[in-house]
Amino acid sequence: MESCKHVFQISGLKIRDKKRVLVQRIRQLGGKYIGGSVYQQASTHLIIPQVLSSEKFLAACAAGKWVVTPEYVLDSFKNGSWLAEGPYEVSISTDATSSFYPVRQWREKVASGRLGGAFQGWRVLLKVQEPARRAMFKRLLKAGKAQVYNCPPPSPASVTHVMAKPITEASEYHNAPCYPVSHIVQHLFGSNLVDMKCDLTDDHPAKKTKTESVVDVDFSKLESELRDYVIKQEGRPRMCFLEFLGYHDPHSAQTQATETDSSNVGSMIECGLFIEALDSVRSDVFPGLVPPAPYLVSLLGYAQQGHATSFYLRDLRHVMYNLLITNPPWMAHCKVRKYFSQVLQCPRCKTGLWPFLETAISYCLSTGVSCHPLPGPALPTLLQFHSDLLAFVLKLFQGELHSVNAGDFVLPERRGVSFAPASGSLLYGTFWTVWERSTLLSRAVKQLIRLLLQAFIEDCVHRDEKQKLRLADNLLDLLSVLVEFWCQQHFKLKQTLVEKGLKDLAEHFAVISQDVSPVVLAELVVRITSTRLKLVLADGIFRSLCCRNGFTVGDEPISFKKMVLSYLPALGNLAQCPSGARLRTGPTPHSGASQGAGCSADCSPVNETSLEKENVPKGLNRVNAAGETLLHRACKRNQVETVLQILALPGTDINVKDHAGWTPLHEACNHGSAACVEILLQHRPAPILDNQVGGVSPLHDSMLNGHMDIAKMLLEHAGSVLLQQTDGNGHTALDLTSETTRREELLHSAHVGDSALRNFSTEVLNVPLLEAASSLLANLIFTYRREQGLPHHGDSLSLTLVRALETHSPQKVTSGWTDQRVVRLVEDAETLLELGRGGYLGQISQAVRECKEENTLFLMEILEDFKYRGEMLLADL
């Protein structure tokens, strides 16, 4: 792919709205924007409103880049294509008739090839005490192609300049001339320095650079603010039912229902006059007044026998809904809830609401499973009756969930009326026994999930017939209500209990759905209304698809970082799975298994004495003073068996970084651990190869330390794209060796890698599986943003977090933090920023990027949108 010729940075533009418009116009013209407060070597253009004494301006000048005014982008957008930069180049008026163009002289020299940068040939010993300013001067000098040393180099004669601040008697080094840091500006602009009024030596607190100001971020305060934000996000209601606000007359508050004297109705029922009895009951339903429960049970029993007409069933439905509207159990005395529990049960067996509900669902599914025999074959009118019965119970449960979410909402006129406690609700009593309330996955919930899966499969096969009943959608909504209700009850008391309950639910669903088509499962996720349920099921199903097709992804809590670094590369593996391959099966839905299916370790029961636990390497979770994990240390020492053990464990992060940012792959390349490098490259998800620390990538690391075998291994794995990477001095891997033979070997290895990638990744072998996985991942990413609330531009808390991450690593920011939810939010923010800088998307396989199917294209659009969000966050700096 051709590199972009218009890569912009912006400096000195303080009005966010104007900056945002520029970023949007750049993208619309096909350009790229790099945010951040420091100069980036990859930029080709710098936009500034006027000449500034900023790092970006001076570095762009030293590197020979275009420095233009904002009008260049705005006028180009009006033109519809990029204009010539010359008329928009930044200038300074020196008198009434002439202008000075401070960047042009260096830009023309670099463009002609006479110089690589304004400081080419300089070998600078930088002696600046303050860390932030030392880092700034180092970037500035390296932008102009100077070699910079923070400590004396091996050969004193190689130093040509000593840059010191402050200058002391000890500043000189082996007779090398010593200059103040202002010499940088003097060299760039000469006699025009006075006109430009540039001064890099000012240390007044009011004039601190943006880079320096973020050093003072209070990480403890930031943690507290982020924790409050996370708690608020988790506690907000997900499903609101505004229609329930009008269910009760606010001027006639009834705290309990009184049964009417309906002896004539009983006589009619005894004589078999059910239609006449129903007509009489219809007139007895008022706020505070209800027909006797045994009569209503008898009317329901008559409907269940299959002899009732469609008009009778319609009228009975109206009576039930009118009863719910006038006497909602969630806003009344416990007597009303007891009344509904007496009515909503099997008229013959009288074993409670769940068996009654399960019978109705089973009848619609024609499974023959019921508490007692029902008329068969399934009658259309009776099918509709049972479907309406399910919809009625769903409406009742939605009202109880509404009462939990809006428990403090009582209209002023309704004094003396309050919402019923959730502990005594019909929903709790139906799906959880007293001993099951601490677990989401109760026996009844498991049965509901099994019936839901069966209903959805039939809905996909017999769509025209089953869609009229809306059985699958009603069951999905019912499960959503259950999940929201249970989580609302427990999240304030014990967040870990909620996380475990949701994980158990996702894993159980993944186990019992292993033989179901991924296409069906992906459509099921799309139709879920609860964002919380959609998130956990999409995650569980995606991990299950990976496991069933022979590779693992970690089972650590879901995060945006995990989706980008682990799930996106996994798409390429799913695309290459043979379409005719038989999926690996697991426990049947009747086995009662609830262990996880997200990874290979999850597919077997886990106990304290399991082999998996016994084989966990000692010191796995121990981190040394440098932030190195056991995987780092094993790669440094080429301990192959230990590396294999660690990578086999679920949840292992192959790209984990130490405090300096080095990954295990960096360490293996640096220390010549060829066997460990080979193991890391074979792992799925694969390690990130373009990660750089101080400009050093794994390939550069292997070359700098003379490990040619590892360098060739990396190139054979990733191809010639690695040869395009440059280090902090602008050197590629080929520049690090002068031997013709070695250069040819590297080029040959890159060619081998390119050929292998073309043969492997340009063709999708399993389009349905890729489309299903893309749909799942698209819903997962989009729902995660709604659930967790990723940082967004314009928000003050997000801006504070982004500023902290601009200077410090996530590990530094979160050092000592104990709440893992907050830590994940910081890691998500860093991932979003890296997307905005143009990173990570290159990890997606070529086959996925070139796929033109609907769901995959939609996923790519979502990722581009998140990349844009990252750019806007950077634009806010």
What tens digit of pLDDT does each residue of 400-421 get?
888 777 653 333 344 444 455 5
Poorest-pLDDT segment among 92-101, 261-270, 712-721: 92-101
pLDDT over threshold 60, residue 813: yes
The CATH number assigned to the domain with range 630-726+733-761 reads: 1.25.40.20
Percent of the chain at pLDDT above 70?
Answer: 78
**pLDDT-derived band of residue 582, with 50, 70 and 90 as boundaries?**
very low
Q: For residue 777, what pLDDT is reported?
A: 94
Dihedral Cα 833, 838, 844, 849, nearest 10 deg: 130
Among 65-69, 109-113, 243-247, top mean pLDDT goes to 65-69
Q: For residue 214, what pLDDT is reported?
A: 37
Q: For residue 584, what pLDDT is reported?
A: 35
**pLDDT-derived band of residue 352, with 50, 70 and 90 as boundaries?**
confident
Give CA separation, 278 vs 268, 307, 311, in Å: 9, 15, 11
pLDDT over threshold 90, residue 601: no
Poorest-pLDDT segment among 73-87, 117-131, 244-258, 764-778: 244-258
Poorest-pLDDT segment among 254-258, 270-274, 808-812, 832-836: 254-258
**pLDDT-derived band of residue 369, with 50, 70 and 90 as boundaries?**
low
Give CA separation, 231 vs 310, 485, 561, 747, 821, in Å: 50, 17, 20, 53, 9
CA-based nearest residue to 780, from 597, 495, 534 = 534
**pLDDT-derived band of residue 253, with 50, 70 and 90 as boundaries?**
very low
Q: For residue 476, what pLDDT is reported?
A: 93
CA-based nearest residue to 302, from 271, 257, 325 = 271
pLDDT in tens, 615-624: 667 767 778 8
Distance of alpha carbon 510 from alpha carbon 548, whole angstroms:
10
Tallying the residues shown for the chain, one arrives at 877
**pLDDT-derived band of residue 3, with 50, 70 and 90 as boundaries?**
low
pLDDT over threshold 70, residue 193: no
- Pairing of the two strands 99-100 and 123-128: unpaired
DSSP conformational letter for 721: G
Single-letter code of the amino acid located at 702: S
Mean pLDDT of the 838-863 span: 85
Burial class of residue 630 in the structure, from the number of CB atoms within 10 Å of its CB (0-12 exposed, 13-18 middle, 19+ buried): buried
Cβ proximity of 650 and 601 under 8 Å: yes
Q: For residue 593, what pLDDT is reported?
A: 32
The reply to whether 123-213 shares the fold of 7-112 is: yes
Full strand arrangement of the beta sheet holding 32-33: 32-33, 7-10, 45-47, 66-68
Q: Where are the domains of the chain?
A: 7-112, 123-213, 520-574+766-875, 630-726+733-761
pLDDT over threshold 60, residue 83: yes
Query: In the CATH hierarchy, which fold is given to the domain comprising 123-213?
Result: Rossmann fold (3.40.50)
Poorest-pLDDT segment among 267-271, 580-584, 736-740: 580-584
Measured in degrees and rounded to the nearest 5, phi and psi for residue 69 equal -85, 165
Give Cα 147 to chain centroid, integer Å.
40
**Bridge-partner residues for 9, per DSSP?**
46
pLDDT over threshold 90, residue 18: no
Q: For residue 111, what pLDDT is reported?
A: 86
Tokens 């001339």 locate to 177
Dihedral Cα 467, 468, 469, 474, nearest 10 deg: 50
- Pairing of the two strands 92-93 and 99-100: antiparallel
DSSP conformational letter for 100: E
Instruction: State the distance between the two ends of the chain, measured CA to CA, in whole angstroms.
Output: 30
Single-letter code of the amino acid located at 218: D
Give Cα 161 to chain centroid, integer Å.
48
The CATH number assigned to the domain with range 7-112 reads: 3.40.50.10190
Q: For residue 771, what pLDDT is reported?
A: 93
Q: For residue 151, what pLDDT is reported?
A: 66
pTM for this entry: 0.66
Q: For residue 602, what pLDDT is reported?
A: 36
Mean pLDDT of the 386-397 span: 90
Q: For residue 482, what pLDDT is reported?
A: 92
- Helix ranges, 672-788 (H): 674-682, 698-704, 708-718, 740-761, 767-788
pLDDT in tens, 851-876: 889 999 999 999 988 888 888 887 76
Distance of alpha carbon 635 from alpha carbon 662, whole angstroms:
12
Poorest-pLDDT segment among 52-61, 336-345, 411-420, 565-574: 411-420
Distance of alpha carbon 38 from alpha carbon 31, whole angstroms:
19
**Bridge-partner residues for 125, per DSSP?**
149, 162
Mean pLDDT of the 722-727 span: 78
What residues contact residue 151 under an 8 Å CB cut-off, 6+ apart? none
pLDDT over threshold 50, residue 105: yes
Distance of alpha carbon 428 from alpha carbon 413, whole angstroms:
29
Among 156-165, 550-559, 841-850, top mean pLDDT goes to 841-850
Burial class of residue 396 in the structure, from the number of CB atoms within 10 Å of its CB (0-12 exposed, 13-18 middle, 19+ buried): buried
Poorest-pLDDT segment among 195-204, 702-711, 799-808: 195-204
Poorest-pLDDT segment among 327-331, 461-465, 519-523: 461-465
Higher pLDDT, 101 or 44: 44
Give Cα 19 to chain centroid, integer Å.
27
